[in-house]
Amino acid sequence: MNPQLVALANRLGLSDARAAAYLGVPPSTWHKWLHGKRNPSAGANRLLYVLGVVETLAPNLHESFIPPLEGSQAARARVATPKIPAPPDDAMLGLLDALREKIKDEYATGQDSRADEEDEE
Digit-by-digit pLDDT tens for the chain (121 residues) are 899 999 999 999 999 999 999 999 999 999 999 999 999 999 999 999 999 888 888 888 888 888 887 765 554 444 445 555 666 677 777 887 888 888 777 777 766 545 445 444 4
Query: Tell me, what's the pLDDT at 115?
Result: 46
Query: Tell me, what's the pLDDT at 121?
Result: 47
Query: Tell me, what's the pLDDT at 71?
Result: 62
Please report, for residues 51, 59, 106, 119, the alpha-carbon distance to residue 56 in angstroms, rounded to integers and kept in the order given. Answer: 9, 6, 18, 27
Query: Tell me, what's the pLDDT at 9?
Result: 92
Cβ–Cβ under 8 Å, residues 34 and 6: yes
Q: Write the CB contacts of 61 (distance below 8 Å, at least 6 apart in sequence).
A: 54, 92
The dihedral built from the CA positions of residue 52, 53, 59 and 61, taken in this order, carries a sign that is negative
Distance of CA 86 to the CA centre of its chain: 20
Q: What is the DSSP letter of 85?
A: P
The phi, psi pair for 19, rounded to 5°, reads -65, -40
**pTM given for the model:** 0.58
Query: Tell me, what's the pLDDT at 74?
Result: 53
